[in-house]
Amino acid sequence: MEFSLNEDQQIMVDAFREVMESRNWETYFHECDETHTYPEEWVNAICEVGFDRITIPEEYDGLGLDWVTMTAAYEELGRLGGPTYVLYQLPALETVLKNGTDEQKEAVLAYLGTGKQVLNYAMTEPSAGSSFEDMRTTYTRRDGKVYLNGHKTFQTSGMHVPYMVVMARDSEDNSKYTEWFVDMAKPGITKEPLEKLGLRMDSCAEIYLENVELEESDRFGEEGGAFRRVVGDFNLERFLVALTNYGTAYCAYEDAARYANQREQGGRAIGKYQLVQLKFADMKVKLTNMRNMLYEIAWRHDQGLLGRGEGSMAKYYCSHAAFEVVDEALQVLAGIGIAGEHRVQRFWRDLRVDRVSGGTDEMMILDTAFMALRPYR
């Protein structure tokens, strides 16, 4: 495995770095976090140089590149302080290109290059977090139409996406799970915002569906194929969370390292004290492990070798390791990290949420353990 970037990949990474250095984005990010606002200006800027086209096939006006390239992009943007968690839905557009109708593809592709939020996938319910068996949202066919009824919760991007892929059960056959491509402007949809500890630049909402009228053509993918589709995309979703966690930790580490070499106590830089050096040794080991794991998983995907559970493994390890790095960076920064408006505060809050968002630690452990034990049965 060779993880050095080729010339084209390096050009792309350099382009993202230029965007990050083009203005004081941190002031903008702080304002967006405080006001719970999606950072559309920033997303638009990176999409103008191709971020949302990285994994989109060339036949759809994308770049048709691989996961290793995507990993390098996330790494650079995260390292320079970008809130990459707001970007999860952009690589996921490829799911629509694989499973959607021509009309559904056209709807999402119209947003390429704009930086605007496009869609997300609605599964979680008050009674069904990690268990699909307890899902109560239903679809019912009546008079040539399809009607959705139910309640989705903790819905990421739920307040502002124009489209949502909603999983529901057949009201006449509860064993059948099907997804529906829903225009969120339709009558019968109510959205209520939820406050969050972190990840505040992306909305979170309760979604109520009351007799939302759909056409048969709004079905997303195969009838009864929702569960298979969702499980098949778990690796991507969880891998993206891990990438974001790693990049954020990298940024916090570099902020703390610069501070440790400048801040003096007792007549010398605090970075010269062994207790502080121990923190940086631990942080460096965790960052190196995360980077190696993520690039290897990306490479395995690109070689067609990726197995079930590898995304879960990455999310479980990186969400913990990254949080520990940020926590140690906060300790090094001390007063300026806690009492001021330093971005490490935001990182700390964001990473704590990611041990729940996108799949809890407990579910990641179950999936990883299944992958680990299966070869020895």
Q: Which domain holds residue 363?
A: 227-376
Beta-bridge partner residues of 156: 204
Spatial separation of the C-alpha atoms in residues 363 and 109, rounded to whole Å: 33
Domain end point (choices 109, 138, 162):
109
Domain boundary among 172, 197, 224: 224
Among 109, 138, 155, the domain boundary falls at: 109
- pTM, two decimal places: 0.95
Per-residue pLDDT reduced to its tens digit, 150-206: 999 999 999 999 999 999 999 999 999 999 999 999 999 999 999 999 999 999 999
pLDDT of residue 302: 94
Looking at 131-140, 206-215, 239-248, which range is the least confident one? Answer: 131-140
- How far is C-alpha 55 from the chain's CA centre? 15
Residue 1 lies in a domain: no
Question: Using one digit for the tens of pLDDT, what is the confidence trace for 76-91?
Answer: 999 999 999 999 888 7
Position 132 scores a pLDDT of 79
Residue 114 in any domain: the answer is no
349 located within any domain: yes
pLDDT in tens, 227-268: 889 888 888 999 999 999 999 999 999 999 999 999 999 999
**What pLDDT is attached to residue 228?**
87
178 and 263 belong to one structural domain? no
Any idea which residue has 């799911």 for tokens?
95
Nearest C-alpha neighbor of 66 from the set 94, 97, 108, 98: 94
Q: What is the pLDDT of residue 130?
A: 67
Q: Spell 342-371 as b/e; 16+ CB within 10 A means b.
A: bbbbbbbbbbbbbbebbbeeebbebbbeee
**Would you say residue 27 lies in a domain?**
yes
Same domain, 218 and 235: no
Q: Are residues 266 and 345 in the same domain?
A: yes
Asked if 301 and 187 sit in the same domain, the reply is no
Q: What's the CATH code of the domain at 356?
A: 1.20.140.10
Count up the domains in the chain and report the number: 3
129 shares a domain with 149: yes
**pLDDT tens, residue by residue, 36-59:** 999 999 999 999 999 999 999 999
Structural domain contains residue 65 = yes
307-347 per-position pLDDT tens digit? 889 999 999 999 999 999 999 999 999 999 999 899 999 99
